[in-house]
Amino acid sequence: MKNIKQYLDLLMEEGLVVSYNLYQKAKSPIYHMTYGSGDAKEDTLFLCKGAAFKKDYLLEALQRGAVAYVSEQYYGTEEEVPYIRVKSMRKAMPVLAKAFYGNPDEELFLTGVTGTKGKTTTVYYIRAIMDEYLRAKQEKASGLISTIETCDGMSCEESKLTTPESPELFRHLKNAVDAGISHMTMEVSSQALKYHRVRKIKFDVGVFLNISEDHISPTEHEDFEDYFSAKLSLFKQTKTACVNLDSDQAKRVLAAARMSDQVITFGTKGNPDILGSNICMKDRTLSFDVECREFRQHFTLAMHGMFNVENALAAIAAAYAMGIPVKYMAAGLAKTKVQGRMEEYVSADGRLQVIVDFAHNRLSFEKLFDSVLMEHPDARIVTIFGCPGGKAFNRRRDLGLIAGLFSEKVYLSADDPGIESPQDIAREIGGYLEVTGCPYEYIEDRGQAIQRAIQEVERKTVLLVLGKGNEARQKYGKISYKFPTDGEFVQIGIREYNRRHMRRSAIAG
């Protein structure tokens, strides 16, 4: 167990220390580390994190037993409390967390996945492939950090962030090591890269899926260049890079990937290392072929959506980098489904098909509508979605225009409005829907919007319920309230639809 002086030395080595005073307590051992004042206890090193940090949080932590603090500014206290003042808490936290948990990242084979769209599905694909391989070797299943859940061998819990803050991240990595896990796959968000959550980690494999304008707002990225640069920085800490040659900006991505020790390319055009072809949807099964230097193989996917071939190719490239035999790649992909991603529900009469998906930005909307139009050319398309409050304001324009162009009707509903008025958000999106001439209706409650859309089905319809996937919360103000998932609402609606149409059939018969 390290003491305060040892943590100071680590920060000094990184050139992060501005000033400090340990008040004769340099050898005080640190048994706990946190940035949550309510989580502080005896012998805690408290991390003063966040733009909204208040001195009261520090005082509460000290009252609970914290023995020292790290911060960007000095906080005078009545008693002499050891402190380390640093240039950047964001850069300091991963240094401290990595050391506190004993460098667990160095004992794991880590795969990181970034991109605008498809991160979650891809990490599940990679995990499924790895687990097939590990099972055959009679080794423990791999770990996972995703937007949906975090599974570290000790527990499997709902995720709060796509990529956790560094103290939680290194705790999960430590749990994985203690549980005997050897491999872990994780989503790496642009925010995690920009704000140094994954600093000090060297990924064995880093996957870059795609890039499109998103997450641009005062609280996220100031412009597209800031967003793109954050994504590309993954390669600075990657041994083997996997790059999608079908992506926009592929040349720039590939150039940045040269920072890695090795580069593996994938795609459906040109001459990538992993070439996908013969993509086909037949008898409700999505299949494709893959050719590379080591093998030629036919693959099938349990999930629909032509765009999932791109995610599957990324997973195959990652598995190829790990040296996993192709039979395990095929087995893992053939059975994997992901909650809230291309979840499909079909009515008893086959007239209504509902797709619940997490699609929430321009790229994901474009790819989803392309796939639906290709797979259901004769169906009426109805879409339910909203946009979050306080961030990614460009989505309101982008999603409104795309949904309006390809839908016969749109229902606008709440999607984590936060401190903004959901009506105001819907009104802004509605302005772009009006440009396309698409009729729309605003129903704030997502459950009611889903029921209304299902009730109005009279002919073959594909209903797209987009934006929240399997999320079971809605954020109003600064509080996230528990809500049923979109899938749960859909199941209720389809049961009622089936009962109603069975009665009609019985009366008609």
Q: In this predicted model, what pLDDT tens digit does every residue of 174-189 receive, in sequence order? A: 999 999 999 999 999 9
* CA–CA separation, 502 and 497 (whole Å): 8
* CA–CA separation, 225 and 197 (whole Å): 20
Is residue 392 within 8 A of residue 216, CB to CB? The reply is yes
Q: How confident is the model at residue 370 (pLDDT cuts 50, 70, 90)?
A: very high
Q: Distance between alpha carbon 507 and the CA centroid of its chain, in Å? A: 48
What does DSSP assign to residue 414? -
**Residue 69: what are its φ and ψ, rounded to 5°?**
-140, 155
Q: Write down the CATH superfamily of domain 343-504.
A: Mur ligase, C-terminal domain (3.90.190.20)
Class of domain 4-89: alpha beta
Summarize the confidence of residues 398-426 as an average pLDDT. 96
Summarize the confidence of residues 495-504 as an average pLDDT. 83
Cα end-to-end distance, the chain, whole Å: 78
Summarize the confidence of residues 186-198 as an average pLDDT. 94
pLDDT tens per residue across span 334-355: 999 999 999 999 999 999 999 9
What does DSSP assign to residue 138? T
pLDDT at 217: 61
Q: Give 137's contacts (C-beta < 8 A, 6+ positions apart).
A: none
Number of C-beta neighbours around residue 166 at 10 A: 29
Q: Which of 8, 77, 394, 457 is nearest to 227 (CA)?
A: 394
104-267+310-322 has which CATH code?
Answer: 3.40.1190.10
Summarize the confidence of residues 442-463 as an average pLDDT. 95
For residue 206, pLDDT over 90 is answered with: yes
- pLDDT over 70 for what percent of the chain? 97
> pTM to 2 decimals?
0.90
Within the chain, what is the greatest distance between any pair of CA atoms? 90
Domain ranges of the chain: 4-89, 104-267+310-322, 343-504
For residue 480, pLDDT over 60 is answered with: yes
Q: Tokens representing 429?
A: 């999106």
pLDDT at 218: 65
Distances (CA, A) of 139 to 81, 142, 143, 168, 362: 47, 9, 12, 25, 40
- pLDDT over 90 for what percent of the chain? 85
Q: How confident is the model at residue 215 (pLDDT cuts 50, 70, 90)?
A: low
Q: Give 225's contacts (C-beta < 8 A, 6+ positions apart).
A: none
Is residue 145 within 8 A of residue 172, CB to CB? The reply is yes
